């Protein structure tokens, strides 16, 4: 029996297979047994690149709220790797990238889950390292 973590890791590939798509190129490498890596946050990073509610008109208020969370903690989001597979995409740097233009967080439950977990733990007073361990435990 697969764990929840394994199920989430392979869900995108299973969905693609269910509709007859074969993963190729970058997506063939997505989460192929690689460990989640976390970058060091950049000095002076801010949330100015995070999409705003005006950029998300067709998305529910819950999605807007998650983007607002990331805008509040850019220094944390910039130090967290994303487990959904977007790390294989060109231009990807960190979870913060998932919430900028061209990022995939608006429709990705893993990106959104990591953001909510990071935000909650940050507000509990946890350090970036503690937040990374929580992310690794759930998504890594």
Q: For 25-73, write each residue's pLDDT tens digit.
A: 343 344 444 568 999 999 999 999 999 999 999 999 999 999 999 999 9
What does the pLDDT average to over 100-114? Answer: 92
pLDDT exceeds cutoff 80 at 138: yes
Q: Is 87 helix (H, G, I), strand (E, B) or coil?
A: helix
Prediction pTM value: 0.75
- Where are the domains positioned within the chain? 4-139
Query: Which residues make beta-bridge pairs with 100?
Result: 50
Side-chain half-sphere CA neighbours of 127 within 13 A: 2
Per the CB < 8 A criterion, the answer to whether 105 and 67 are in contact is: yes
């Amino acid at each position: 029996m697969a764990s929840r973590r394994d199920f989430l890791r392979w869900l995108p590939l299973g969905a693609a297979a269910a509709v007859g798509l074969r993963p190729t190129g970058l997506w063939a490498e997505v989460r192929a047994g690689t460990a989640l890596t976390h970058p060091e946050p950049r000095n002076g990073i801010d949330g100015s690149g995070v999409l705003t509610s005006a950029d998300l008109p067709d998305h529910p208020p819950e999605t807007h709220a998650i983007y607002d969370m990331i805008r509040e903690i850019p220094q944390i989001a910039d130090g967290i790797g994303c487990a959904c597979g977007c790390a294989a995409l060109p231009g990807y740097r960190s979870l913060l990238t998932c919430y900028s233009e061209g990022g995939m967080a608006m429709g990705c439950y893993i990106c959104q889950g990591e953001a909510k977990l990071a935000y909650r733990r940050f507000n509990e007073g946890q350090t970036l390292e503690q937040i990374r361990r929580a992310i690794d435990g759930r998504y890594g």
